[in-house]
């Protein structure tokens, strides 16, 4: 059945539409671009090969090939899902998590009753108030902010009377009083009850209290965690410089449509990260283990 004959439902032949082949544009004598779109009736040949001619450009022209599966989009980094950051945030917010050894760490809860006879901490503060205090405390998602909150509930005073049982022991320079604020009331409790209600260790309470031994101190000092220079996982600056110079060695051009609005440069669509990485290894003659 030819292309000019009408197609009927009773025909034994299967109608196959014509296939077009897209070729590169050519220029005439006056410099104007003329698009060359040729019609080729190669339907039978294309079906025998199991392919569509539109899937590939003519191999004689310089147009890049569009055949094959399109490269997958590279996933962007999400630091909030990194294991160390998840553990760090869960520790501060009191949520349960799996540590580096795979052991499950339970979420923070109110500690045991201090059984204090002097202040009767768990009697003055009922269970509902204790849950509310714990919930509001762990809504502060930074350790420094939590320490400022705890420091505001600790009052430092001079020792009223110094006495030692043996006479040789180290004398205290100050004493601390611990409070819980409920509405407009400040309820004094013991140190153990203060730690239990906030779901923290007594050592942390002592560390915060030490910051306020000096009466001129109003806020605790910032933590120096993470400010050291011991970075075993840091990529050497020499490698970064080599990769940067390697990327800049490829031809690049500005965007065609937003050239006046953007200063970005774009690499060839034929390049991808895998291909650039292989070229980098060949250029520097490095093994896969070295990078």
The predicted pLDDT at position 54 comes to 40
Contact between 268 and 251 (Cβ < 8 Å): yes
Closest CA to 209 of 196, 191, 197: 191
Per-residue pLDDT at 124: 94
pLDDT tens digits along 252-263: 888 777 767 778
Give the pLDDT confidence of 9-31 residue by residue, as tens digits: 454 455 454 444 444 444 444 54
* pLDDT score at 192: 95
User: What residues does each domain of the chain span?
Assistant: 11-65, 82-160+174-210, 237-290
DSSP 13: S
Q: What confidence tier does 205 reach under pLDDT thresholds 50, 70, 90?
A: very high
Provide the pLDDT for residue 290: 44
- Mean pLDDT (the chain) is 77
How much is the pLDDT for 169? 64
Per-residue pLDDT of 167-195, as tens digits, reads 666 777 788 999 999 989 999 999 999 99
Q: What are 277's two structure tokens? A: 């990485």
What are the E-state strand segments in the chain? 19-22, 26-27, 33-34, 37-40, 97-98, 104-105, 154-158, 174-182, 185-189, 253-254, 265-266
> What pLDDT shows up at residue 228?
82
pLDDT beyond 50 at 158: yes
Q: What is the per-residue pLDDT for 44?
A: 45
């Amino acid at each position: 059945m030819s292309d000019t004959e009408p197609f009927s439902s009773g025909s034994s032949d299967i109608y196959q539409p014509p296939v077009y082949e897209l070729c590169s544009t050519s220029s005439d004598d006056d410099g104007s671009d003329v698009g060359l779109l040729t019609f080729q009736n190669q339907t039978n040949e294309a079906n025998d090969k199991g392919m569509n001619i539109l899937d590939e450009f003519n191999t004689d022209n310089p147009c890049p090939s569009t055949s094959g599966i399109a490269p997958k989009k590279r996933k962007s980094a999400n630091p909030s899902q990194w294991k160390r950051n998840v553990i760090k945030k869960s520790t501060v917010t009191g949520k349960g998590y799996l540590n580096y050894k795979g052991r499950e760490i339970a979420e923070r809860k109110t500690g045991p009753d201090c059984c204090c006879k002097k202040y009767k901490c768990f009697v003055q503060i009922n269970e509902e108030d204790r849950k509310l205090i714990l919930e509001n405390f762990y809504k502060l998602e930074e350790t420094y902010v939590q320490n400022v909150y705890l420091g505001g509930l600790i009052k430092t005073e001079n020792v009223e009377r110094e006495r030692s049982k043996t006479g040789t022991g180290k004398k205290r320079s100050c004493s601390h009083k611990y409070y819980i604020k409920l509405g407009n009331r400040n309820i004094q409790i013991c140190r153990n009850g203060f730690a239990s209600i906030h779901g923290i260790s007594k050592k942390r309470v002592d560390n915060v209290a030490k910051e306020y031994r000096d009466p001129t101190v109003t806020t605790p000092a910032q933590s120096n965690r993470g400010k050291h220079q011991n970075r075993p996982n840091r990529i050497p600056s020499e490698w970064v410089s080599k990769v940067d110079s390697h990327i800049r060695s490829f031809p690049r051009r500005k965007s065609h449509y937003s050239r006046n609005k953007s200063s970005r440069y774009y690499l060839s669509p034929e390049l991808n990260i895998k291909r650039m990485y292989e070229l980098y290894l060949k250029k520097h003659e490095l093994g896969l283990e070295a990078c």
